[in-house]
Amino acid sequence: MNNFDEVELLLFDMDGTLTDLRKRWWDPFFRAYDHVRPNSDKDEGEAIFTNSFEDIIKHSGGKSRFIIPKIIWKVTRAMGLNLIETVKLLRYIRKDKLAFKEIIPLEGSENVVRELTQRGYKLALVTTASRKTIDIAQNELEFFDLFEPIITRDDVKATKPEPEPLLLACKKLNISIEQSVMIGDFPLDIQAGKSAGSRTIAVLGPNEKYTRSLIEKENPDVILKNLTELLPLFPYKSTN
């Protein structure tokens, strides 16, 4: 088993690791997709969406203000929607008041975060989400106040998979990157951790069937099925 005795800081991704990526991204897209193309193959569509989602985030650094239209455009092209269908899908999404705004914690995530804090670890959030999204999350989820600092795409020039946000979090806490571990559910989280020089833990979560093979190629230190499996790896910090 990997030893994390030297770790002082846990760097968490948000979407898909702590909160439900499907609720915030998948569901609004497929509500619109089902409206445009009823009775379509959803499994095939979800696989395409997963690959397109990460590819655009990775190559844009999460910085584009048009990130949502870019993701939708690439996904609809890959899924074979024509221009008229794509326009209909976009119009449907614009009318969906919940589209890309639902921030729902994954089962057990709050308990894990609170327990790790009690065990003496420092926790930071490193996300490609905007500061506006984080403000919403902090208003709705009390346990997000346990993350300090929270590094968003608005705080850096280049987001994951670049190392900048991880290094910034460590700098703010005066902790060396070697004493940190990056925890996330997408390959870009693992790539960012390795690029920065931290340890890496992949949490597969509910998107395992789409991401496991991609995660395994990145060779993280540990691969977990869900967030609760973190706790045995991080016992109480010694007070000596």
**Of 200, 137, 198, whose CA–CA distance to 166 is shortest?**
198
Question: To the nearest whole number, what is the mean pLDDT of the chain?
Answer: 87
Report whether pLDDT(113) > 60.
Answer: yes
Q: Domain map of the chain by residue range?
A: 9-19+103-233, 21-95
Distance of alpha carbon 238 from alpha carbon 231, whole angstroms: 15
Confidence at 145, pLDDT banded by 50, 70, 90? very high
Give the predicted TM-score (pTM) of the model: 0.83
Query: Which of 1-15, 22-36, 37-51 has the lowest average pLDDT?
Result: 37-51
What pLDDT is stored for residue 99 in this prediction?
A: 66
**Got the DSSP string for 97-166?**
TTTTT---BPTTHHHHHHHHHHTT-EEEEE-SS-HHHHHHHHHH-GGGGG-SSEE-GGG-SS-TTSSHHH
Place of tokens 């065990």: 119
Report whether pLDDT(31) > 90.
Answer: no
Confidence at 59, pLDDT banded by 50, 70, 90? low
**Of 48, 182, 80, whose CA–CA distance to 127 is shortest?**
182
Decide yes or no: CATH 3.30.2130.10 for domain 9-19+103-233. Answer: no
